[in-house]
A and B are shown apart, each in its own frame.
Chain A
Amino acid sequence: GQQVMQIPQYQHVQEGEDFTTYCNSSTTLSNIQWYKQRPGGHPVFLIQLVKSGEVKKQKRLTFQFGEAKKNSSLHITATQTTDVGTYFCAEDNFNKFYFGSGTKLNVKP
């Protein structure tokens, strides 16, 4: 099946620093979704990107889909302690969703 590789596995930042997680695939992705999972919680949908080169913003979060639709990134500007959690990318490939392994973000106040 499809595989989406996600890096880094962990990221520790000081509050106020920026954070980026990357999702890469060796094949063209039909679309990419991003989810956030708080410690002990369940994944919560953040956004879906479909078009080549697409950029979407949600307050301090910026999501990008690569021109070749083989990679995507999530960038958080000026992290806050409420950003703590694990961020996952996922591809929807003909009804089958393939998740990356996630990037665990820890924010030190």
Chain B
Amino acid sequence: NAGVTQTPKFQVLKTGQSMTLQCAQDMNHEYMSWYRQDPGMGLRLIHYSVGAGITDQGEVPNGYNVSRSTTEDFPLRLLSAAPSQTSVYFCASSYSSRGGEQYFGPGTRLTVT
């Protein structure tokens, strides 16, 4: 099993550009989520999904969209990048959303200039 994979590892965008961060898991996990990590602020939940076709907002959803068309994939779309979205983005999955262990991907380091 590859676990949770994320692409790309690094990305530089100009303000106003859009892009999609990819996340995939091969563990047949129901729950998937996206976090951003900024220095000194821990991880903050952006969006999450409890199964294919179901998504919901987390703590900091503005400026981001998600979709979950399959169990395996959970892409995160930045609609119009802003410097405030410079961060490290982690995707995570867990077998169940009922308090289960979360498996994190390696992260994407995004810089918006």
Which of A's residues lie within 8 Å of B, judged by CB?
1, 6, 9, 30-31, 33, 35, 41-45, 48, 50, 88, 90, 92, 95-102
Contact = CB atoms under 8 A, between A and B. Distances in A.
Given A96-B58, A100-B42, A102-B42, A42 B99 contact: no
B42 A99 contact: yes
B48 interface: yes
Interface of B: 31, 33, 35, 40-45, 48, 50, 56, 58-59, 90, 92, 97-107
Nearest to A32: B99
B42 A95 contact: no
A97 B33 contact: yes
B59 A98 contact: yes
Given A42-B90, A42-B104, A97-B33, A88 B42 contact: yes
Nearest to A91: B99
Given A9-B40, A42-B107, A98 B45 contact: yes
A92 B31 CA distance: 12
